[in-house]
Every structure is written in C-alpha cells, then in structure tokens.
Amino acid sequence: MKVTATLALYDFPLWRDSLRAMSKYVDRFIIRVDENGSIFKEHGWMGVLHQIDQIVGDFPAAVFFRSDPWNRWNWREDFLEEIRMLDENPDIIVQLDEDEIFGTGIDQEIKELHESDAVAIMSPYRSPMPTADGTIILNGGTYPGDPHMKIYKYRKGLTFKNYTGWARVTNYADESSRLIRGTVPIYHYCCWTPEMRERKDFKW
C-alpha cells in the first residue's frame, strides 16, 4: 500500500507539527507552498525547502510553489495535477490542512479503507477543539461541524472541479454507500492560542 500525503502551506505557524505527524503513517509527501502566504514571505524558497527537508528529508517529497489566488478547490486540484505530472499512482491520498493532525489509530483506518470496497473516509473533527490554555470554544463544538473527506483512494480522472464541499473529491460526492464513517478524529489547531482565535470570526 502506497500512501501519499498532500499538504498546502499558507500561514499557519505550527505547520511543521502537522508535517511531522503525517510522517508517521505516509510514504511520500507532495507539498504546495502559497507564495502569497506568510510562511513563504518569511522564509522564501530556500528557507521553506530547508525546513521541509529537516522534517521529512528521509521521505520522497515533491514541493511546488503557486501564486494564483486562493479558493476552496483549486489547491486540491493542483495536487491532482502534480500527481499526474509526476506519473504517481498512490493507493491512498491523505489531504490534511496545515493546521490539522489526525488522532491515534489513523494508520489502521487507512489500512481498512485500502482493503475495502469503499472509496474514501469521512473523518470527524474532535470536540472540543484543542487549545493551548484549555479554553473551551464554540461551546465545546467543532469547526468545521461536519465530517470531511480527508482520506480517499486515488485513481486517474479524479477532480475537485465543480466542488461540492466537505473536501470531497467530485467523483466521489455521490458515493455515499461507499464511504467509511471514520472514528479517528481530526484535531483542528486553528484556535490553539488567543492570537489565533482573534483571527477567526467565531461567536465564543
């Protein structure tokens, strides 16, 4: 089983933790760096590449840079295009955001997906959301509130065009009978510190 992780870097200061956590259960990385984000502006091409190499230098990795305007699906489509260009054929793709980390046991869920007839896992978000100081936000709820398709089987012809939400591959959006309801949660660290919480327009 070949598991490829895709990770888009923009401005989350703890992105290295996400990368480090993914290295425990994937075989290869494909990383997109947004040149409009603070990570690139602070470190530049060589600085970003050096930090990635320090964390996952022992893994096969492809890093590419983009400066086109951000939207909800184009960066995911960029990864599929990069996979096609590299002539990659992974069995499974894990597509976490830079501020997300899976809980313990995700390697087993990936194995179960690979051995099943299902096409993807809809993973829940952990409640309450993790915070460094123990603050309970959103009344102990989660953001996002619904499970997302963060792990899916790869095949040629997949696309995110005509995006349907919840991180779903468009080809799999109507495959409800072939989706696994995941139990391993995603820890979403977007509100980890008071400073991070100030950037979110939540009603605390």
**Cβ-count burial 152-173 (b if 16+ within 10 Å, e if not):** bbbeeebebeebeeebbbbebb
* Domain membership flag for residue 192: no
Determine how many CB atoms are found less than 10 A away from the CB of residue 3.
Answer: 20
* Domain membership flag for residue 82: yes
* Domain membership flag for residue 201: no
* Domain membership flag for residue 18: yes
Q: Which of 26, 100, 33 is nearest to 67 (CA)?
A: 33
Q: How many domains does the chain have?
A: 1
State the CATH number of the domain containing residue 58.
3.90.550.10
* Domain membership flag for residue 204: no
pTM: 0.93
Q: What is the DSSP string of 76-112?
A: HHHHHHHHHHTT---SEEE---TTEEE-TTHHHHHHH
Query: Which pLDDT score, from 0 to 100, does residue 204 have?
Result: 47
* Domain membership flag for residue 196: no
Where the chain has pLDDT below 50, the residues are 204
Range of the domain at 47: 3-126+149-186
* Domain membership flag for residue 194: no
